[in-house]
Amino acid sequence: MHLRSAPSRRALAVVAAAIVPLLGAAGAPASAAGWRDPHPAPPTDRAPACGSPADTGFPIRTRLYGGPDTYTPGGTARTFFLALRNTTAGDCRQVHPLVLLVDRDRQLTPHRIRLRYAPPGTGSWRAVPFETTDHAENIGLPGGQSGPGLTVPARRTVTMRLRLRFAPGTPPDRVVVSATTMQRRGGNGAWVGESNRYAFDIGRPRPMLAETGLRNPSRVRDTGSAAFAMLLVGAALMAGARRGAPWR
């Protein structure tokens, strides 16, 4: 397939090299055209090509949208969406989207990333496993190593919900998320889609409130009542002292 807007060789090599261990095909040779499975499926199980070899563009239009501009370390998960639009007249089966996170400072690691996804048509949330490449890119594969992949019907859109948050202690950074769409074809695979870029900041954690002991209103009232009582006692003592003092 001739791709009019093919990604850079470096980006393609990074994802091609990373997808092999992610899909459980460690040790298989990878190339810019895709990956090769050391245990290919029988010919009867092969998925048909997504689109025609004569097509000049990606058959799966891939788009990220709906996410916030800032995430707070240790904060609640925020939702965004991954839409896969099949632009061809035939169904595309065994489609695997990969989520790629690249941070400016190259200090983001999988144990700080908490990404979950909801398979289309379900309300359940599942964790997305991540791997790190030699270039410090973090690649997540919704569905894991043994996932069957998605079926995107002809001329239809399949949308996946994603929830992302970062662990406490994640340092401030600038992150760019993109999605790459691959299709497994028996023992081979092909690059069938590439998304826009979704950029956001990892902000600083919210400061902790100082412990003042005045957070409980009843305690404030009790403290005020005790002070008032002490004031009355002091006034009474002073009055008694004056009454008992001799005149001069």
Phi/psi at 52 (5° precision): -95, 145
DSSP structure class, residue 85: E
Q: Residues 34-63: what's their mean pLDDT?
A: 62
Q: Is the pLDDT of residue 70 over 90?
A: yes
Highest average pLDDT, of 11-25, 162-176, 211-225, comes from 162-176
Q: Is the pLDDT of residue 42 over 80?
A: no
Q: Is the pLDDT of residue 44 over 50?
A: no
Q: Is the pLDDT of residue 7 over 90?
A: no
- Structure confidence at residue 15 (pLDDT): 56
DSSP string covering 182-243: EEEETTEEEEEEE---EEEEE-PPPPPPP--S---HHHHHHHHHHHHHHHHHHHHHHHHHHH
- Structure confidence at residue 219 (pLDDT): 46
- Structure confidence at residue 139 (pLDDT): 94
Highest average pLDDT, of 124-128, 167-171, 185-189, 233-237, comes from 167-171
Phi/psi at 86 (5° precision): -80, 115
Q: Which residues partner with 64 through β-bridges?
A: 82
Q: Is the pLDDT of residue 143 over 80?
A: no
- Structure confidence at residue 145 (pLDDT): 60
Neighbours of 117 (CB within 10 A): 22
Q: Residues 21-44: what's their mean pLDDT?
A: 37
- Structure confidence at residue 52 (pLDDT): 75
Question: How far is 190 from 133, CA to CA, in rounded Å?
Answer: 20
Q: Is the pLDDT of residue 214 over 70?
A: no
| Averaged confidence pLDDT in the chain | 74
- Structure confidence at residue 48 (pLDDT): 59
pLDDT in tens, 86-122: 999 999 998 999 999 999 999 999 999 999 999 887 7
Q: Residues 17-33: what's their mean pLDDT?
A: 39
Q: How far is CA 224 from CA 65, 122, 195, 216, 234, in A?
A: 54, 56, 62, 13, 15
- Structure confidence at residue 164 (pLDDT): 98
Please state which CATH number belongs to domain 9-202: 2.60.40.10
